[in-house]
Structure 1
């Protein structure tokens, strides 16, 4: 790598519109022969928040460590603003990558004041300039009054905001965040996430956020990369990832899911809820028809009869309430279905708590169902 890498980054004041701030190409990391990160590629633009979403152990944090430079990939490349910073031959040291880091463990220095913690990463500038930057950031996170205090005097949420200010102080071009909000209680989490997102957007950083919480990804991300078994299995805007899942596991990762099993005949799958379209799937193929609880419509039993079939909702099937629970903003009602004894979950806005044993008719919205070949 050229020795003037830092200067080259600083000279890129006016970047081409489509030059990614961060680009990783075909990253692979193996442990004892097993690929824990397997051919992962991402592009993140300035001001964009991308969320690497997936279950524990899928390779999210390992990907982050390779980008930060604290772990070396087995193959693949990492680029910042169109400049190669790391492959298997060249490697820019972590401290020269202009990358900020935030982790679940805030890792504040207990012997330093709040000001000292925030100023820790500021290498350039006079004492007065550093102090001004510290005051600016602490004011933006509403902690200026604690500038001369110590971490142990702060709450968990306040410590998290100090960690954010410290990470932003050097004006990093890229911010890597590994489950930074998981240590906070739910009462504080949403507000701090929103404040963090606002600050990161103002700084025009490219952000890669790692989380296993779908709600967090949906709330914060411009783009979600869904990761499983070391690979990115789906990538796109949150709306598209949620409404156009690539497979059954992608549906289930974001919410509860109901599954009907059927066999295709003439591009149709026959079920107790009527026929479902299965275009492009060969006859004889077994399929799973997947739908979320909120997309089930309920109707009352009228002397053993339900509503008439419709093109949008199909054929009604009868079930008996097993349990009903109020969840705060919706009610979860579980049914034991007459046709096969299976359990089907539904959610209803507000309070709806039918008694166990009550018979009802259920229909499924056709435009909210996903048909996947069974595995």
Structure 2
């Protein structure tokens, strides 16, 4: 070996993402429904496109599948381009599995034949794969039944098994677990995603349910009005939302307002830091009900202020409800007549008209400039 040759020993060659979507846009009838969407998914990773109905997440999924054509941008798998504005690999040649809300089993085929439809190999190999997947989705012994003999949830599990059967390198899932009852949903969902991870499949999952995204995803792309507004791990998306709407999408929120003076905002709950906000600007301070601390009223007095919880403010209970694992208490605040909510673990049901003092955790508040 030449000593002056470039040395590559110990240097690992970078590999392309299993799936890469680059600057994809879609326009229908002159209306842009997807705008400049980009993301990457590695083998064994689960990316969730999360957002309200009509935000463009299902259209993005259909572009990756090859069912829709984009007006701009490109899609790549393992570094190879699948499509751009002028070229498109046929859907059946993309190595992509599809599970949409309308799971559409073949009614004239048995469950086993439905699952084996896209398989290749000997009959014994295909039968073994079918039996393995039926066991995985809790439908062992259903191979000879026909779709009309199954419930809606059972049909959806067969559709899951059919999509998993060929071991696709990319799996696209559009709210695939919505037809399962609560008793089965968590188990089937976790088992399915674990199987996909074990096989190194890159998963793109579409849902409008934040709890489902938090439970399932390695990465979340939060979509709004056709574009991704925030992208990251579930913990980061939840605890560092990009704006008030992002915070509100994941849970109930409380909002109070104040005006900035010298990087601080004065409120009835004390001062809040407002870095990089100009003096005189109005800001909204956002916090979740579970981060409100409650204390009893002592003849018109509350607890002393603390650096962690700031200054307490008094409110009067309007309504309290037990929600199963926690209690939700709604207040009418003395300082402005506005409403705030607090959640308390377990059973806590003060009567309407009860005065209580509310404090707000400083490290759990978000300060945003208001949007018009």
Task: Output the TM-score relative to the length of structure 2.
Answer: 0.94
Give yes or no for contact 1:18–1:45 (8 Å, CA) kept in 2.
no
Hey, what's the Cα distance between the residues in 2 that align with 1:117 and 1:107?
A: 10
Give yes or no for contact 1:157–1:192 (8 Å, CA) kept in 2.
no
Q: How many residues align?
A: 360
Unmatched runs of 5 consecutive residues or more in structure 2: 1-11
Give the alignment of 1:110-149 within 5 angstroms: 110-122=107-119, 124-149=120-145
User: Deviation at 1:270?
Assistant: 0.7
What do the CA deviations read for 1:308-353 (whole angstroms, capped 9, x no partner)?
Answer: 0011101000000000000000000000000111000110000000
Aligned to 1:357, what secondary structure does the other structure show? Answer: coil
Find the partner of 1:64 among 61, 65, 68: 61
Hey, what's the Cα distance between the residues in 2 that align with 1:119 and 1:16?
A: 37
What do the CA deviations read for 1:239-259 (whole angstroms, capped 9, x no partner)?
Answer: 000000000000000000000
Find the partner of 1:51 among 36, 48, 64: 48
Greater mean deviation of Cα atoms: 197-206 or 350-359:
197-206
Find the partner of 1:232 among 228, 231, 239: 228
Give yes or no for contact 2:136–2:191 (8 Å, CA) kept in 1.
no
**Alignment-derived partner of residue 203 in structure 1:** 199
- Segments of 4+ in structure 1 off by > 3 A? 15-18
Hey, what's the Cα distance between the residues in 1 that align with 2:306 and 2:337?
A: 24
Hey, what's the Cα distance between the residues in 2 that align with 1:176 and 1:112?
A: 24
Give yes or no for contact 1:26–1:76 (8 Å, CA) kept in 2.
yes
| 2:326 counterpart of 1:330 | yes
What do the CA deviations read for 1:160-208 (whole angstroms, capped 9, x no partner)?
Answer: 2211110011110000000111223333322221122122112211000
User: Deviation at 1:120?
Assistant: 1.2
Find the partner of 1:311 among 307, 310, 319: 307
**Alignment-derived partner of residue 276 in structure 1:** 272
Aligned to 1:167, what secondary structure does the other structure show? Answer: helix
**Alignment-derived partner of residue 177 in structure 1:** 173
**Alignment-derived partner of residue 241 in structure 2:** 245
Give yes or no for contact 2:156–2:179 (8 Å, CA) kept in 1.
no
Greater mean deviation of Cα atoms: 303-312 or 175-184:
175-184
Greater mean deviation of Cα atoms: 250-259 or 179-188:
179-188
Hey, what's the Cα distance between the residues in 1 that align with 2:29 and 2:174?
A: 24
Greater mean deviation of Cα atoms: 87-96 or 322-331:
87-96
Aligned to 2:357, what secondary structure does the other structure show? Answer: strand
Find the partner of 1:106 among 84, 103, 128: 103
User: Deviation at 1:139?
Assistant: 2.5
RMSD, aligned α-carbons? 1.3
Hey, what's the Cα distance between the residues in 1 that align with 2:174 and 2:230?
A: 20
User: Deviation at 1:159?
Assistant: 2.1
Aligned to 2:337, what secondary structure does the other structure show? Answer: coil
Hey, what's the Cα distance between the residues in 1 that align with 2:366 and 2:244?
A: 8
Task: Output the TM-score relative to the length of structure 1.
Answer: 0.94
Find the partner of 2:183 among 165, 180, 187: 187
Give yes or no for contact 1:157–1:188 (8 Å, CA) kept in 2.
no
User: Deviation at 1:17?
Assistant: 5.6
| 2:59 counterpart of 1:78 | no
**Alignment-derived partner of residue 8 in structure 2:** none
What do the CA deviations read for 1:25-62 (whole angstroms, capped 9, x no partner)?
Answer: 00000122221100000100000000000000000000
User: Deviation at 1:286?
Assistant: 0.5
